[in-house]
Structure 1
Amino acid sequence: MQTDTISYDRLIGKEDSQALVENDIIVPEDEPDVLNVIAVNALTIINNIEADEGKIHIDGELRLNILYTPDKKGSLIKIDKSIDFSHFFEVEGCDSKCRALVAARVEHVDYSVINSRKINIKAILSISGSVFSKEMKDIVVNIEDIEDMEYLKKTIKYLNTIGQNDVETFLKEQIKIPDGALEIDRIIKVDTIIKSDEYRITDNRVMIQGNIHAVVLYTTKNKGEFEKLECDLNYDNFIEIPGALSYMNAKTNEAIIEKNVEVLEDDNGENRILNIELVVKTNAVVTEIEEREIPVDVYSITRNIEPEREIITTINRSVGATSQVILKEAIELKNNARKIIDIIAYPVISNYTMSDKKVLIEGVIDYNAMYLNDEGYINSSKGEFPFKTFVDVQNDEGVPFLDLKISHVSYEIIAMKEVEMKFVMDVYVDIFYEESFDVLTDIKEVEEGRYEKNKHSITIYMVQKNDNLWDIAKKYRTSKDDILNINEINDEKLIAGTKLIIPIKAQ
């Protein structure tokens, strides 16, 4: 008898929850008083995920870009602030060796002016987490060397995490605004969308290539005018993961944890250059699907044996699926719109289900449209509209992990007070498929017989519904081959009502 230790991943917990982050923001001394807050653009950065006894701790930051007007003349001032937050999941069976897949996104932001130098911010975060443990089990993998033993084999598949690691990459790019455009006055807002194009696994490392699309909103030297500049930055990097091999799979996640954009002068001394600096944090998890044939049941024809069994539950595979949906909505503003400055939007999941090989997702888009009215004053219009979408998956038996991102926003004024908004939303779904099966952990011979002595050398048995040849042979302590041979049949598939001759060996 041969035993071996198998290593496999098990999903031990999953949770979707919300967290409230609230803080008072003080206006910097070098900025003017607040008259009215127009919008708040917020995003989350997860800095650390730590597993502990029965809990997963999450530490992160809420990055805020607060836009306000100090007067009625069309000026727009920004405040960039960061608020630390902590959150935890209670997960039964969790310990320090577990790993967690976590996504945190902003669902809604409320703000109010306390006084001319203080703004209160309340943000609702959606935090989802799936927790995995690394299991080790000693099982029987081979009993072919033991005489007088009948055994049933099964091929099992299980996911095994080889390792994970993360790395930070610094990117820098200088973009010049087009000739003829007005000079840059102040940077108002910087949006970045990051997408990994592909990855490649070589020995002990994961190679990653991606693209970052940056949109910079700024005011010009002509007071009250807003312009946007868009650019793309390509990046490539590698992450060291010992044990990674080319045939394995990797799951990568990228996040921009630092961004800084400053205005530089060109050769003529004019503010026409944007210096963009970004820090990208990339995490990679390398896994492999192991497949092996093991005995799952055993008996002896002449001896009394007692197999010891356990039921283990593993992730036998994980599958990533994505889709992109375009959402359109026409809204009516309070005032006539001369120009749309920008639209900030957050996707909110209200419900999701799995049916007919699809993950069905319902939710709303929470938006805030900033615009200039006929008089040149800055206004904003907040609201939400519902959406429904789906992602195709392989079957309905897995455990889903969802994330949504708005990757593009466009808009058009179609009437004096009416604006058509178009959002491109990327939907990411990871499905973890689980399977439970019996494994043999030991085989022992016992002295006291569990079977009565057979008094006959031949028994006639009538096949019942759902019978299989293994169970019949085990019941009468004979072999499948002997039943097939004496009945002159070569197909193990049995038909209910068939009479079988069961040869019984002397015991």
Structure 2
Amino acid sequence: MDLKINREMIPVTETILDDMQEQSVELDYVLPDYDPDIFRIIGCEIQPTIINYTTGTDRITYELRADIRVLYCGSGSTLLQCVSQQMTFSRSIELPRPTDSPTVHLRPKTTYANCRAVSPRRLEVRGAVSVQIRVTGDRKQEIIRDVFGMHVQLRKTPVEYAAQKRCAMKNMILNEDVELGTSKPPIRNIVRSEVRLDHQEQSILAGKLIVKGEAEVHFLYTWQQEDGSNGLEQMQFTIPYSQIVDMEQIDDSYRGNADVQVIRCDLKPTAGKNGAMDLVQCEIELRMRCTAVKTAAVQLVTDAFSTLYPCEQSTVSLQIDMAPEPVHANLMCSATLHPGDTIPECIYDLHCQVRNINMQLLSDTNRIRISGMLCCSLLARDTEGMPMLLEKEEAFEVYTDSDTPVDNATLQAQVEPTDCTYHLASDGTISIKANLLLHGSLCPSARHTCLSDLTVDGENKLVRDGDYALKLYYGVEHENVWDIAKRCHTSVGAIMEENDLTDEQLTTPGMLFIPIVH
């Protein structure tokens, strides 16, 4: 009988690029005439955002926006002033090799931000941001699925893999007019704002991915009464969203996921019905990166031999991706701040960020280890009524269990502080607790060495050490029956049947009867 080999093409994901780009941020700013002179700088921050990107076969081009915010006080005043500026940069990076339909992940973060007053009317900001760039691409790999004839025995491993992938990108705009209410003073100036996206829900319906969630808007603003008294006030509100994303050919057999990111949040104070600035016009732009994956199963041929003829085989090592699993966990960490000589009289606002995040998959315990720095900024007021910014960075290390095996998996996730609380003790010590939200996807994969080619020499038979139909073999504990069968040029099934074995790995040492098959 001639040798017949059945082959199949399966998709294999490869990492094309995993790199970091740095971008310096430099701003020389002259205050407009209506702003007071700079007396004391309270704080400075730079918030980076990827607002757009395009992909080609050999290059990734993206637009990076840096939102710069400087807080200061004028001479003889306790009213907090805010300078807000935006800078946009266009960057590109070449891919090591061309690829069709690459998957791109861009994660920006602030490296550092410094500010100084060159003169009472001029600010100088110096900082840097970095962008983590990860690009993957799919290619087709031919594998051997089955072999018939020439007395060939096969060793197979069942594998589930991502057979079909669909991707779509869509931006959406949320608009909402929010009234402050009678308990809140009118807005003079918005000092800081942020948007937190609540956990989304996804469902698939007839070629469409339905994404639902909520955008929680938090902002801090200054107020000033006619008598000259002033202060800071917080405000928050929630905007629900629901979006339908067209994704051709997907159905219930696919598993959908949406990565939603905030592109911008524009807050504009406006006059309400009574003429006071007690109305906020909010416009939020979100970018949804949607994926849908359909899995399939295949039997990979990992080894082969003939019971009658010599064989030669070629192998290939493949990293095969399975369907991504959503990751969602709430983790707690804390920090302690000692103000020193200047004890705050009250705290207006607590803002937490995380930096230098390192996420490690622990296969021995099937857990995820997250470490980094918790960066806390407290905007407070001293006993003289002057605004002050208290900052503290504290290392943290937290763990969470994974419902999916993390061995050989890739974690594509973000860590963001959500609920942050503080306690101000009588001695001025401030205890901070932060809830960290881990959200993203765990992409399981496995590396398999499988056959890419097999050649059987049908002209020459194997030479045995004797003419017999049965031989004795002493097996050791944990020895694999396949290895015994290959060494003795017989079949796994014949050994297991002759010795009444139920497991392909020996549980105890002992003598085995090895039937010789042809």
Q: TM-score, normalised on structure 1?
A: 0.86
Q: 1:449 to 1:476 in 2, by over 3 A?
A: farther
Q: Alpha carbon RMSD of aligned pairs, Å?
A: 3.3
**Secondary structure of the corresponding residue to residue 184 of structure 1:** coil
> SS of the residue aligned with 2:77?
coil
Give me the whole-angstrom Cα distance separating, in 2, the residues matched to 1:71 and 1:323: 44
Q: Indicate whether 1:70 and 2:79 are aligned.
A: no
Q: C-alpha distance in 2, partners of 1:59/1:212?
A: 24
- Which of 363, 381, 393 is 2:372 aligned to? 363
Residues 68-217 of structure 1: pairs in structure 2 closer than 5 A: 68-85=72-89, 95=99, 97-106=101-110, 108-125=112-129, 127-143=131-147, 146=149, 148-160=151-163, 162-217=165-220
Distance 1:180 1:323 in 2: 32
Three-state SS of the structure 1 residue aligned to 2:444 is strand
Output the amino acid matched with 1:341: Y
Q: 1:221 to 1:124 in 2, by over 3 A?
A: same
Question: Could you tell me how far apart the structure 2 residues matched to 1:197 and 1:122 are?
Answer: 37
Q: CA deviation at 1:70?
A: 2.9
Q: Please tell me whether the aligned partners of residues 405 and 444 of structure 2 are also in contact (alpha carbons under 8 angstroms).
A: no
Encode CA deviations 1:485-506: one digit per residue, 9 max, x unaligned: 5x3635455454414243254x
Between 1:425-434 and 1:340-349, the stretch displaced more is: 425-434
Residue 51 of structure 2 aligns with an amino acid whose one-letter code is N
Work out whether 1:473 is the aligned partner of 2:490: no
CA 1:360/1:107 → structure 2, altered by over 3 Å: closer, same or farther? farther
Change (3 A) 1:153 1:388: closer
Tell me, yes or no, if the aligned pair for 1:49 and 1:100 is still in contact at 8 Å: no
Aligned to 1:246: 252
| Distance across 2 between alignment mates of 1:306 and 1:178 | 80
Q: What's the counterpart of residue 256 of structure 1?
A: 262
Q: In the alignment, what sits opposite 1:498?
A: 511
Unaligned segments of structure 2, at least 5 residues: none
Is contact 1:226–1:341 with CA below 8 Å preserved after alignment?
Answer: yes
Q: Does 1:298 align with 2:298?
A: no
Deviation at 1:211, TM superposition (A): 0.9
With over 3 angstroms needed to count, the CA separation of the structure-2 counterparts of 1:382 and 1:471, relative to structure 1, is closer
Q: Are the aligned partners of 1:483 and 1:503 in contact in 2 as well (CA < 8 Å)?
A: no
Is 1:42 equivalent to 2:46 in the alignment? Answer: yes
Provide the rounded CA distance (Å) in 2 between the counterparts of 1:120 and 1:234. 39
* Residue identity matched to 1:289: T
Do the aligned partners of 1:19 and 1:124 also contact (CA within 8 Å) in 2?
Answer: yes
Q: Is the 8 A contact 2:375 2:394 kept in 1?
A: yes
Alignment of 1:274-293 (within 5 A): 274-293=280-299
Per-residue deviation at 1:179? 1.8
SS at structure 1 position matched to 2:485: helix
Distance (Å, rounded) in 1 between the aligned partners of 2:202 and 2:412: 21
**Which region of structure 1 is more displaced relative to structure 2, 398-407 or 298-307?**
298-307
Question: Relative to 1, partners in 2 of residues 1:79 and 1:236: Cα closer, same or farther, differing over 3 Å?
Answer: same
Task: Tell me the distance in 2 between the aligned counterparts of 1:450 and 1:90.
Answer: 54
Change (3 A) 1:49 1:483: same
Moved more, 290-299 or 71-80: 290-299
Instruction: Report the CA distance shift for 1:84/1:464 in structure 2 as closer, same or farther (over 3 A).
Output: farther
**Paired AA for residue 170 in structure 1:** I
Counterpart AA for 1:283:
R
Give SS of 1:366's match.
Answer: strand
- Percent identity, aligned pairs only, is 14
Deviation of the 1:234 alpha carbon: 0.6
Contact 1:454 1:504 in 2 (8 A): no
Aligned twin of 1:426? 437
Return the letter of the residue paired with 2:367: K
CA drift of 1:303 comes to 4.9
Query: Judging changes above 3 Å, is the alpha-carbon distance between structure 1 residues 388 and 8 closer, same or farther for their aligned structure 2 residues?
Result: same
Cα shift readout 1:16-71 (whole Å, capped 9, x = no counterpart): x5845321241353542433322234322123456678886654222223222233
Q: Distance in 2 between matches of 1:481 and 1:350?
A: 51
- Structure 2 match to 1:27: 30
**Structure 1 segments unaligned to the other structure (5+ residues):** none
Distance between the aligned counterparts of 1:472 and 1:420, measured in 2? 64
Question: Which residue, 325, 331, 335 being the options, matches 2:332?
Answer: 325
Q: Deviations over 1:162-190 (max 9, x none)?
A: 12222111111111122254332222222
What is the alpha-carbon distance in structure 1 between the residues aligned to residue 431 and residue 471 of structure 2?
Answer: 79
Per-residue deviation, 1:134: 0.6
**1:114 shift after superposition:** 2.5
Distance 1:416-1:20 versus aligned 2 partners, 3 A rule: farther
Is the 2:16–2:95 contact (alpha carbons within 8 Å) kept by the matching residues of 1? yes
Alpha carbons of 1:182 and 1:310: their partners in 2 closer, same or farther (altered >3 Å)? closer
Q: TM-score, normalised by structure 2?
A: 0.84
Post-superposition CA distance 1:290-326 (Å, at most 9, x none): 3222433334444555444322122335444323325
Q: Which residue of 2 aligns with 1:414?
A: 425
Q: Aligned in 2, Cα 1:232/1:504: closer, same or farther, shift over 3 Å?
A: closer
Q: Residues 341, 41 of structure 1: CA spacing in aligned structure 2 closer, same or farther, 3 A cutoff?
A: farther
The structural deviation recorded for 1:4 is 2.0
Give the whole-Å Cα distance in 2 for the aligned partners of 1:233 and 1:66: 28
Aligned length: 502
Match of 2:387 among 358, 364, 378: 378
Pick closer, same or farther for the CA change 1:344–1:241 going to 2, 3 Å: same
CA distance in 2, matches of 1:18, 1:344: 27
Question: 2: distance between equivalents of 1:469 and 1:241?
Answer: 47
Decide whether aligned partners of structure 1 residues 352 and 440 sit closer, same or farther in structure 2, where only a CA change above 3 A counts: closer
121-130 vs 310-319, greater mean Cα deviation: 121-130
Contact 2:12 2:318 in 1 (8 A): no
**Structure 1 contact 51–94 (Cα < 8 Å) conserved:** no
Q: CA deviation at 1:328?
A: 4.8
Higher mean C-alpha deviation, range 234-243 or range 427-436? 427-436
- Displacement after TM superposition at 1:5 (Å): 1.4
Alignment match, 1:271? 277
2:471 corresponding residue in structure 1 = 460
Q: 1:337 aligns with which of 329, 341, 344?
A: 344
